[in-house]
Amino acid sequence: MSEGVDPKQLFDLTDRVIIVTGGSRGLGREMVLAFARCGAKVVIASRKGASCEELAKEVTSETGREALPVEFHAGRWEDCDRLASRAWDHFGRVDVLVNNAGMSPLYPSLAEHSEELYDKVLGVNLKGPFRLSSLLGTRMAEGEGGSIVNVSSIEAVQPSDNAIPYGAAKAGLHNLTLSMARAFAPKVRVNCIMPGAFMTDISKAWPKELIEGLKRSVPLARGGGPEEIIGTALYLASDASSYTTGAILKVDGGAVYPAA
């Protein structure tokens, strides 16, 4: 038998430095914990500084890995600059950036949608990933390389009629993924996870009929558990995906959507 690659080594993240925006809750929290359990040092960034600090303590207590909490607003250009500098200055490198922060607030109607809210939604979901990826992707490309993982939404390709600015921003994130995969090649890989319905804390506010509808529209007959994002995140962050770039991976239980 010829000697092959140890699959376990492909997913080993020992001493990699990984930034996760929106990392204190939901899918971001699951990714932070998974990366640390695989040996990574993590930067937990979100608007809720206290939640970042609490999770950082949990990470270090459980895994022994270093965790840096940073209060951060993805829609603010200066916050992106500060986060990039803080992480790089503290660890001396960044190997993986996960642009997970997002928001999709309700609005009364399209005509009543305010400019302020529109700018906020586009800022968090698109401007922040652009700025962070530009800064850190450039440094990665000048150094030893790395991986950028964007997190979009099924709204990017199957838009609903009640989250239009959000869907437009996530569609832009798909474009950003493809263009930056080319811009930072060959040393930096840029990919995107496109989640469907996941039962995070946000889903607690969903109407009952929406949750019941998942049983009909999703072949797996349910929404995803937050921990079910881990496999895809580990794949794109690690050497297991060394020949994958410019990819948009749909993780939605095989959901069937109405024609756009």
Cα 190 to Cα 149: distance, rounded to the nearest angstrom: 6
In this structure, of 1-15, 74-88, 139-153, 241-255, the range with the lowest mean pLDDT score is 1-15
Catalytic residue among 152, 153, 238, 241: 152
**pLDDT tier, 260 (very low <50, low <70, confident <90, very high otherwise):** very low
The burial class, CB within 10 Å (0-12 / 13-18 / 19+), for 67 is: buried
Instruction: Indicate if the pLDDT at residue 208 is higher than 80.
Output: no
State the DSSP code for 225. Answer: P
The pLDDT score that the predictor gives to residue 221 is 86
Q: How far apart are alpha carbons 260 and 30 in whole angstroms?
A: 31
| Catalytic member of 170, 235, 238, 241 | 170
Residue 79 pLDDT exceeds 80: yes
Computed over every residue of the chain, the mean pLDDT equals: 93
DSSP character at residue 126 = I
Distance CA 31, CA 184 (A): 24
Question: pLDDT at residue 217 above 80?
Answer: yes
- Domains annotated for the chain, with CATH where assigned, are 8-250 (3.40.50.720)
Q: Is 117 exposed, middle or buried (0-12, 13-18, 19+ CB in 10 A)?
A: middle
Q: What is the pLDDT of residue 206?
A: 65
Q: Please report which confidence band the pLDDT of residue 66 belongs to, taking 50, 70 and 90 as the band edges.
A: very high
**Does 166 qualify as catalytic in the annotation?**
yes
243 an active-site residue? Answer: no
pLDDT digits (tens, 9 = 90+) for 165-199: 999 999 999 999 999 999 999 999 999 999 988 88
pLDDT for the residue numbered 205: 65
Question: Which of the residue ranges 106-110, 228-232, 255-259 would you say has the lowest mean pLDDT?
Answer: 255-259
Does the CA dihedral 194-234-181-102 come out positive or negative? positive
Per-residue 3-state assignment (H helix, E strand, C coil) for 58-88: HHHHHHCCCEEEEECCCCCHHHHHHHHHHHH
What per-residue confidence (pLDDT) applies to 59?
98
Q: Quick one: pLDDT at residue 213?
A: 75
Using alpha carbons only, give the angle 73, 201, 241 rounded to the nearest 5 degrees. Answer: 70
Cα–Cα distance, 173 to 249 (Å, whole number): 13
Q: Which of 24, 107, 127, 166 is catalytic?
A: 166
Q: What per-residue confidence (pLDDT) applies to 1?
A: 39
Q: How confident is the model at residue 258 (pLDDT cuts 50, 70, 90)?
A: low
pLDDT for residue 93 is more than 50: yes
170 in catalytic set: yes
